[in-house]
Every structure is written in C-alpha cells, then in structure tokens.
Amino acid sequence: MKPIERLAGALKASPAVVFTGAGVSTNSGIPDFRSETGFYKKYHEDDLAIEAYFDDPDKFFTAFWEKFSSVFDAQPNDSHKILADLEKAGYVKGIITQNVDRLHQKGGSKRVIEFHGNIFDYDLIHVTDKNRQLYRIINSDVPVHSIMDGNQLAYRQGKYIYKPQVVLYGEGITKWSESLLLSNAVKTHIIIGTSYVVSPFNMISYNNPNKDLEVFVINKEPIDYQGHATQIIGDCSEILRELMTYLK
C-alpha cells in the first residue's frame, strides 16, 4: 500500500490534527526558513529573536520585513484550501500552525491554533533605559501596513516601538496547553511543510501519550522525526490534491 493510501485510510478511520509550517505557504509566495533557498541562507534565527528586537530594532525590522513583507498580499493556495475542505468533511479536527500569515483562516479553516502568533496584531511597547524587559502595552488602531512598510521610522512612535504579536525566539508560548488538548484527542497527526526542529512546537507530537498514534509527514524534503513516522516527500499542494482522490 502506498503511504498516501495509508494516510487516507487513517483519516477515514478517525480525524487528524494537522501541524503546519512555512512550507505550506511557499506556494503563496512566502519564503520558508530552512530550505536551500530559505530565509536562513541569508539570516540567522537570532535576527528574529526578542533580544534582537530590544538590542537593535533597526536591524531586527530589516530582517523582519524581508521575511514577512510578502504576507500581506498573499492568498491561500491549494494546501490551505484542501485542509479547510478536509476539516469541513470531518477528516481534520484542527490545525496547529507555526505560520503567522493567517492563510489557513483565509482558506476557510475554522479551528486554527496560531502557536507562534500572527503578524496582523501588535503591541506598542515602551522600553525603559534601566530595564528593557519592562514594557507597557498600549492600544493602537494604526493599520499594520503603515507599520510594516519597510521604513525604519514607521515602527517608532516617540519612545515607543511597535511589536507584532509574533512569538519571537526567546519568548514564551501561550498556546501550549490548548495545543496539547487538541493534539491528544486524536490518533493521527499530519505534519506538513516543516522541518519540525523548532521547540517546543515539535514536542507536541513527541509528548503525545497515545500509544496508537500514527504520524504522517508531508514535506518536500525528509525530516529527522524523532520516532516512527510515514514520510511522503513532495510538493505539499500536489500531495494533498492526490490525497483528496483517495478520500472520494
């Protein structure tokens, strides 16, 4: 039996929780992080860390804009739309995503946990001279496009600096308990478009107590999954389109 047929059989037996990463959105024109042409061929993950945000906002936003400027005009691709269709049909219980682009929601998915936040909500932060970790959140109705327009002055407002509600490296996760509750309720996990090396995101499946858990990986490159997983290698959208033919 082909791996994709096994996946279809697992979905027919019970719904899955889907874990997605940047590879799901590359067909929407958003670059990924760790592939041969990814963001980290030029930058390092430290450039998108909370320390970088506080230490050198100009440098931080230069990298941030280069990575995420394509998000605003991006449209859902077949991967997002098919996952929404799978949820509607009862094959998918929900999505836990690393992505901050909200393309799953635009594509029609209803239950989406934004594990790393999103680029569209933001805080206005006052950084003190004595303690840079002490800040105050201020409500603001400034359109996000006017902040993230590539202009280094745009994200400043006097002594305040805008910060997208993206979970940067070095920041805590607020969606851990919600993610575990969802992921532990199913017998099938599908990991799509991610190298699955970022912690604690990758610990959600690793910590699953279900001994009968089946894990399927859909990615353009094999990943080093720490456990048994069925890997289906190729373009995410093409594989999901093929999957749908087995579910009809």
CB 234 within 8 A of CB 2: no
Question: Would residue 116 show up in a list of annotated catalytic residues for this protein?
Answer: yes
CA distance 158 to 146: 16
CA distance 178 to 185: 11
Burial class (CB in 10 A: 0-12, 13-18, 19+), 55: exposed
CB 245 within 8 A of CB 238: no
Which position among 80, 116, 126, 145 bears the catalytic label? 116
CA distances from 117 to 93, 98, 210, 226 (A): 20, 8, 27, 25
What residues are annotated to the active site? 116
